[in-house]
Chain A
Amino acid sequence: DAGITQSPRHKVTETGTPVTLRCHQTENHRYMYWYRQDPGHGLRLIHYSYGVKDTDKGEVSDGYSVSRSKTEDFLLTLESATSSQTSVYFCAIRLGWADTQYFGPGTRLTVL
């Protein structure tokens, strides 16, 4: 258990509304990631962080922003949700440069 929680676990929202997903870790890991998983695409990286206030874009960052003001929390924000952002969102942490990733339980987001 890598001590990762995600909230909310499920959310239904309407097009055009802002949404923030939270990833929380308990073990002070430096690297944190946000992915989305869709049928036929596998997991795709949205944004990642390599320290407090240090973030960078991933493969599918358009329409998403992130913030990391504390080591333990990595927030993903959809400023104006669209139906194409309906997906399962996974947060992950990595212990160090040479290590693999460990995933949180996921958030199922539906945008109507």
Chain B
Amino acid sequence: RKEVEQDPGPFNVPEGATVAFNCTYSNSASQSFFWYRQDCRKEPKLLMSVYSSGNEDGRFTAQLNRASQYISLLIRDSKLSDSATYLCVVGYDTGNQFYFGTGTSLTVIP
């Protein structure tokens, strides 16, 4: 079983739509959670960390559910520039390890 699993998509949504991605993780000892964005043929870039109480950054909202072991990312009012692959990342306090999901592809359509 993979440490981190994501729906690969693709998600094709019109501009202005709201879209949500989920990610599940297998190890309950996970300590840190992140969403990264990766554009085609580029390096992953941090979008936002995910905190236990949930957090928001502009149009982006991240939630963590430890009981069910999933994290989510909500994008409101989608822009063409949001088109990318979104990676879910889970870190462990011991072992210096981070596990990446395979990514969810989003295309925002005019």
Contact = CB atoms under 8 A, between A and B. Distances in A.
Q: Do the two chains bind?
A: yes
Interface of A: 31, 33, 35, 40-45, 48, 50, 56, 58-59, 90, 98, 100-106
- Main SS at interface, chain B: strand
Interface stretch (B9-17, B42-50, B70-78): B42-50
Contacts of A42: 4, 87, 100-103
B104 to A, nearest CB: 11
Contacts of B49: 100
A90 B44 contact: yes
Contacts of B34: 100
Contact of B44 (A43, A48, A50): A43
- Main SS at interface, chain A: strand
A43 B87 CA distance: 9
Contacts of A43: 44, 87, 100
Interface residues of B, number: 19
A50 B97 CA distance: 12
A44 B99 CA distance: 7
A68 to B, nearest CB: 14
A98 B101 CA distance: 20
Report the 3 A-B pairs with minimum CB-CB distance, sorted nearest first. Answer: A103-B43, A42-B102, A43-B100
Contacts of B101: 42
A51 B17 CA distance: 45
B95 to A, nearest CB: 9
A48 B97 CA distance: 9
Contact of A45 (B4, B98, B103): B98
Contact of B96 (A31, A41, A98, A105): A31
5 contacts: A40-B102, A48-B96, A50-B96, A102-B46, A104-B43
Interface in B52-110: 87, 89, 91, 96-98, 100-103
B45 A103 contact: yes
